[in-house]
Each structure stands twice: as structure tokens, then as C-alpha cells.
Amino acid sequence: MSAEEITVEPVVDQVAERANRLVKLENFKKAGVHPYPARFEKTIDLAQAKELVEETPVTTAGRIVLFRQMGSITFVHLQDFSGRMQVIFKKDIMGDELYKLVTKNHDLGDFIGVDGSIFTTKTGEKSVLVKTWTFLGKALLPPPGKYHGVKDREVLYRRRYLDLMTNEDTRKRFALRSSLIRAIREFYWKENFLEVETSTLMHNATGAAARPYHTHNNALDIDLVLRISHELPLKELVVGGFEKVFELGKAFRNEGHDPSHLPEHTHLEHYAAYWSFEDNILFTERMFDFLFESLKLPKVLPLKDRDGVEHQVDWSTPWPRVDYVELISRDSGLDVMSYTSADDLRKDIKARGFEFEGMASMGLTSLIDNLYKKVSRPKIIRPTILFNYPKILQPLARVNDADVDLVDQFQLVVNGWEIVKAYSELVDPVDQRERFTEQASARSEGDEEAMDIDHEYLVAMEHGMPPISGWGMGVDRFLALLTGQENLRDVVLFPLMRPE
């Protein structure tokens, strides 16, 4: 770097820096430059511009991320969502007065538009030689430091724009999220499903075992909950004649907040008339094959387990199938199907040396589920189908024809995370009422994750239902696995945080 070269870097004292930038803002205004114009005709993004041949005219725009003046020539790096590109200001082209205005009053973070032609520097860098310049927006605060970026994870989550501004991997990750959601919809359309939207505000928290958020509607003067799943309204649509429906939207669960759980998550559900859970296993494998192909992702991806050990995980189908009850028995030495008393199971779990938070107040359902999460789920690394679930775990699933204590359900588990849950739906309204009653009893005894009775849904069932299989997937979890993230907050643009 020569003695004349000046590199503009963010400063630590943001108060002083902001005051300095306000002065520069006034300088632009005094020169007749509008600091925040209405629009700019950007005809090409920066990545595309870099592919153009010499002397091609180009009009583009972006944020200043590097500003280096060397006498009568200034090198500026612009950044847009597609990438970065160098643009070059020359005094003999712009004129002395405009060149001085630009070089003395621009800062990192400002937006500008340029019109010029493609030019290759002596070092071989494809650039835009600027003929005309348009000021598009003054940044009053500096971006994160050029070499350090955003290191504080809390700042990263609270001010995602800083992360996006400085981290290309983050921009790519969220671009992939958008592509994933588009590909999911394309697959459903290809499979002749209809996309629908159902209510977020509900009278009862049903469709999953989870603690809901409570709210109140003033106009109707009624208490409501935010939905914990999309399930029951979608099945009511099947009663009404829809045979294949899906919904992509938010679900809310007022429970654990950790790397694999968020208070709100993007949930995908579908329901298909005349299908069994076996049909949905094959559907899931077809879907994942389609998504990997559409997104041009390799079938073998690196993933770190909970201990930080990296594994090369193969997503190739078909996936292995493992009996849920046998898996728990192998890992814990307990046959969960032999228990009818929560106290007995709790005693034997402790006798085996296993402990988990809240187990003292858990009912039988929650004890079985948490035992599995303690001893078995963390060990499942490659994509695996678990099936043969105890009836008590899933009040909405169809009883297995060969064993009335089991239900026709499966889950796809990858790297200790449950990604997909699906089952053959219970369509017998008498059986459903009995199971809801059992859940209500568990809830009255202190199990906060047991389901409420949904009387409206029971009335719908009594109007008749065909065989149905339902399916649900946590989109955030799937994306985290695809991108090698260990925390769901890294695939959600604005995760919920405590106020500063």
C-alpha cells in the first residue's frame, strides 16, 4: 500500500463516526445530491456483470464494502446479494469537483449506482470503469469490521442484517432456504396436492403433544391458543372432500428453547385420503430424492453429532427401518409396552440410572417419549425410519391391525433430530373420543403436554372419513441438517430473543 492509498475502515467510536457521517450527508445535500432517491434502474447484478467482456456497457448498484483512494484514482468494492465487484472512479473522467465530492464524503455501507463499462485492471481484476455515478443511500452507522465481522452470536441473531451484510455463507444459507421452500411446493404440485391455509388462532391445542401459547380475542371475548400443529383443520378438509392437501406455515410451542427447538417454527403438513403410513414412507423418500436433485446437493453431507464428532451422512434412499419399541429396549433394558403405571416406569427408569428434567410430574406418555429421547435418539445419525409406536404416544393415529397396543406411525430421524412424523390417521370417532378422554385425564394429573379434547373435530369425524395418512416435517430442522448448522437459530432469519 502506497503512502497515498487510503483504506476506509469502521471505527470503534460509533457516536463520533455517526456525527462525522451526518456532516458528509449535509455535504451531499449542499451539492444538490439527493441522499435517498426514490429508485435506480439497475439492469444487472454484480455477479453477472463480472462475466461480461471488455468494454461492455453496464449499469449496476450495490453497497460500498471497500473504499481505497490512490490520488486521482479510487477503487471501490460494491456488494449486492449476488456477490462483489470492483468499480473504479477516475478524476479525469468524473471531473475534479465531482471526484472530490465522492472521495471525501463516501463511507463504507453507503449505497451507490454506477454507469460505465467493463474494464480489466493490470492485476487482472474485472471492474467497472465509472462514467456516471448516482448516490443511493447514506449509512449513518459503520458496518462490522472488515476482518472480524459479527462474532457475537447474540448480535448476529438480533441484527441479522449485519450478519447478511458481512457473511457470504449466511446469504447463501438463506438463499437455499428460499429455494428449498420453492422446491417443496413444486414437489407437492407435481404430486397433485392442493395448498391450503388454516387458522393460527384455535380454541384447543391439539394435533401434537406440546404446551401452547395462550391469548385472548377482545372482540369475541374468548380465550384462544396459537396452533401447535396444522393437523385437525386439514383433516376436516378431507372430511369435506379434499383428497390431497398440504400447508406450509408457522406452528407455536411454548416449551424448550434450545439448539433443536424454537418457540415458533416453520411446519409442513399434508394429508392424503386412501393412503396408509407405508405410502407416506415411500412419498417421503421420493420427496427427499426430488429435493436433493432440485437443489443440486450431494447425497453425502457432513454433520456433527452432539459431541462435536463429524460424520459423513448418506441421505440415499431407501432408508433403514427400525422398530421403536425394540430400539428403546435395546438401549435402556426396559420394555415400555409392559407398563401401565407412570410411577412404575419412573421407578425403573431411575433404577437404570437415567434422569431427565421434569420426570417427577410426567405421565406415562411423556416418560416413554423422554426415555427414548434420552437413550436412543442421540445415537441415530444417518437417516432412519422408526416405526411401531405405542398407542399411548399418539392419540390421533390408527391402531395397528396386528397389535392393538401399537399404532401405524413412523418418524424420520437424522443426527438425533426428528425431521418427519407421519401415521395412518385414526378415523374412528368413537375410538378418538376415548383417546381424547385419556389425554384429558393425563392433563388433569399435571401432564402439560397432553392434548385437549377437540369437540369440533369429533363432530367432523362423525360425518365420515376415508382412510387417511397424515405427515409433518420441521422445515427449519431439515435446512439445518442440509447446511451443517448445529442451532436452528442459524437457519431462521429473526429468531425470538429476550429484549436487550
Q: What is the pLDDT of residue 166?
A: 87
Where residue 451 falls among pLDDT bands split at 50, 70, 90? low
Q: Which amino acid is at 68?
A: R
Q: If you average pLDDT over residues 291-318, what whole number do you get?
A: 95
- In whole angstroms, give the CA distance from residue 249 to residue 247: 6
What SS3 state is found at 18? Answer: helix
Going by C-alpha positions, the residue among 277, 242, 246 that lies closest to residue 184 is 246
Mean residue pLDDT across the chain:
91
Separation of alpha carbons 461 and 466, rounded Å? 10
Q: What is the CA radius of gyration of the chain?
A: 29
More confident residue, 431 or 321: 321
Q: Would you state the pLDDT for residue 96?
A: 93
Q: Calculate mean pLDDT across residues 159-187.
A: 95
Residue 306 banded pLDDT, cuts 50, 70, 90: confident
**pLDDT at residue number 423:** 94
Average pLDDT of the residues in 307-335: 96
Q: What is the mean pLDDT of residues 464-490?
A: 96
Query: If pLDDT is split at 50, 70 and 90, which confidence band does 3 have?
Result: very low
Q: Which helix (H) or strand (E) holds 402?
A: none
pLDDT surpasses 70 at 92: yes
Beta bridge partners of 448: none
Instruction: Give the pLDDT confidence of 14-69 residue by residue, as tens digits.
Output: 889 999 999 999 999 999 999 999 999 999 999 999 999 999 999 999 999 999 99
Predicted local confidence at residue 150, as pLDDT: 55
Chain centroid offset of residue 395 CA: 28
- Rounded Cα–Cα distance for residues 57 and 49 (Å): 10
Residue 447 has what pLDDT? 67
pLDDT score, position 10: 44
> For the residues of 138-191, what is the DSSP string, one character each?
--SSPPSPTTT----HHHHHHTHHHHHHH-HHHHHHHHHHHHHHHHHHHHHHHT
Q: How confident is the model at residue 2 (pLDDT cuts 50, 70, 90)?
A: very low
The single residue listed with the C-alpha cell 431427565 is 356
| CATH code for residues 165-320+382-491 | 3.30.930.10
Asked whether residue 210 carries a pLDDT value surpassing 50, the answer given is yes
- Pairwise pLDDT comparison (383 vs 305), residue with the higher score: 383
- On the question of pLDDT at 236 being above 80, the answer is yes
Residue 8 has pLDDT above 90, yes or no: no
CATH 2.40.50.140 fits 5-147, yes or no: yes
Q: Is the pLDDT of residue 498 over 90?
A: no
What percentage of the chain exceeds 90 in pLDDT? 79
Q: Is there a common fold for 5-147 and 165-320+382-491?
A: no
Give the pLDDT confidence score for residue 261 in this predicted structure: 87
Give the mean pLDDT of 406-427. Answer: 95
Spatial separation of the C-alpha atoms in residues 302 and 310, rounded to whole Å: 6
Give the start-to-end residue ranges of the domains of the chain.
5-147, 165-320+382-491
| Mean pLDDT in residue range 369-390 | 96
Asked whether residue 229 carries a pLDDT value surpassing 50, the answer given is: yes
Q: Give the model confidence (pLDDT) of 124-155 as tens digits.
A: 999 999 999 999 999 999 887 654 455 678 88
266-281: average pLDDT:
97
Helix axes 475-482, 168-190, angle to 10 degrees: 120
Spatial neighbors of 488 by CB under 8 A, at least 6 apart, are 259, 260, 261, 262, 265, 476, 477, 480, 495
pLDDT value, residue 209:
74
